[in-house]
Structure 1
Amino acid sequence: MTITISNQMQNLSPDFKIGVIQYHNITVEDSPKMLAGRLQLYQESLMLEADEKPISSIEPIQEWRQLFKKAGTDPSRYRPSSEALLRRVYKGQQLGPIHSAADTNNFFSLQYKLPLGIYDLAHLKGDVAIDIGSEEDHYEAINGRNTDMKGKVLSRDATGAFGSPIIDSKRTMVTEDTKDALHLVYFQPSLTEENAAEMLDAIQKMFIQIHGGSATTEVVVAN
């Protein structure tokens, strides 16, 4: 599978880059106590920092808000998923357990303040492009709602749009039946390639520690 960044996306953000991790032979199940406890403690520490670190001071979130505006998305109506998660935690709304893959994904999103998406490779067709949505782009999201993706940053395979830094599709969502998965990390444009690669390495190591299997990583940059 090849991951590319569309010309439209490159013109919007010449420094845009995305992290790609492909996992194989993983086991998705209820989160182990280690992960559940770590996620719980991290949420509690974030709540204590809420007054000292307001959303407006968090650089990765603000960069993504600006990118949304440039693409034609109102970031106050459609928030980056990392911001939406952090706002919930700041309000004292604990993130309930889903399964090990989704819970790990949420942990990384809170830790790095970045949107991440994880997808079942068995339900992806062909290569993947990171693009800006058109009028034809829409999908049933994981919350069951039909989501219009026009003017939004998205990921698209041969079948159509399936993910975004806002919310992902039901078609490609990871379940406990998933054995192979694609992890996309939506880096803030200012992050260096070196730091992006280091972050990807940390993510895949923890994910494999929890889920087993193997992984390959790649930082894809705008040409």
Structure 2
Amino acid sequence: MPNDAAAWLDSAAIDPAVHALRPDYRALLITAEGLRPGPSDELSERLLADAEQAARERFGDGPVEEHPHLAAWREAFRAFGAKPQRTRPSAEALLRRAPAGLPRVDRLTDIYNAISVAHVIPLGGEDLDHYVGAARLVRAEGDETFETTAGGEPVLEHPAPGEVVWRDEAGVTCRRWNWRQCTRTRLTHATTRAMFVLDALGPMDDTALKAAGDQLMEALTTVGPGVRLASRLVSAP
């Protein structure tokens, strides 16, 4: 559990093996302290509805996977052995659900899902109070642990060797770059300190990445006027 979220950002790292795989990858990391968690509300509903409308206008009935940023993410998944038809990048999975309606989960999750869809960017949130040590994006050895659930029961999995994963000192926090988060660090109704990861590849430039981050920070500030924010762009050296 990091005591100083802003200082903790400085310890986050992307392994050179990930940069070798995709030199165009950048991660915008945002920490937020003093959050007000809870059920979905008027703000999160408005953001989700706006994102659904934006998706309808952008894609219509067309295939979302042909969007340049999503196509790049599919290429990145294939590069480490994942099959994007089975395990889709998170933004693609959400956009495929948009025509029928995005899920309503809780206030914080709804906010970042809405921004993910509106900006066509993989975006996830982690509970900082359940993080152990630094956040690192690495290619897995295969013996790391990943806590998840199956059939409502806790399950311990292991990533495939070479899989791109976010991890801390206790294990994997997100498998296949941005496909699935672990149960240990997921956001809950008790989350007041969080870290958000915005994943960008070449087709999304830094201006567009910053715009997505700015909207996220604005929404978090609206939800909790006393929230303390910090951000860091991590990219290839």
TM-score calculated relative to the size of structure 2: 0.84
Letter in 2 for 1:131: V
Deviates more, 1:23-32 or 1:48-57: 48-57
The 1:89–1:171 alpha-carbon spacing in structure 2 relative to 1, beyond 3 Å, is same
Q: Equivalent of 1:162, from 151, 173, 178? A: 173
Check conservation: 1:193, 1:219, Cα contact below 8 A.
no
CA distance in 2, matches of 1:200, 1:38: 14
Give, in whole Å, the separation in 1 of the partners of 2:206 and 2:132: 28
Alignment deviations for residues 68-109 of structure 1 (CA, whole Å, 9 cap, x no partner) = 11111111111001111111223x2x2332111110111011
Summarize the alignment of residues 21-32 of structure 1 with structure 2, pairs less than 5 Å apart: 21-32=30-41
Aligned residue for 1:161, secondary structure, equals strand
2:16 is matched with 7
Let me know the Cα RMSD of the aligned residues: 2.1
Question: 1:137 and 2:147 equivalent?
Answer: no
Tell me, which stretches of 5 or more residues in structure 1 are unaligned? none
Within 5 Å, give how 1:43-192 maps onto structure 2: 43-47=52-56, 50-51=59-60, 53-90=62-99, 92=100, 94-141=101-148, 146-150=156-160, 151-163=162-174, 164-192=177-205
**One-letter amino acid of the counterpart of residue 162, structure 1:** T
Q: How many residues end up aligned between the 2 structures?
A: 221
Retained in 2: the 8 A contact 1:197–1:219?
no
1:11-54 deviations in whole A, cap 9, x for unaligned? 10112110100001111112221321331343245346544542
User: What TM-score does the superposition give when structure 1 sets the normalisation length?
Assistant: 0.89
Q: Does 1:18 align with 2:31?
A: no
Q: Which among 203, 214, 235 is matched to residue 201 of structure 1? A: 214
Q: Any stretches of 5+ residues in structure 2 without a counterpart?
A: 1-7
Match of 2:229 among 215, 219, 223: 215
Check the 8 A contact 1:43/1:89 in 2, yes or no. Answer: yes
Identity between Structure 1 and Structure 2 (%): 22
Q: AA paired with 2:51?
A: Y
Is the 2:112–2:216 Cα contact (8 Å) retained in structure 1? no
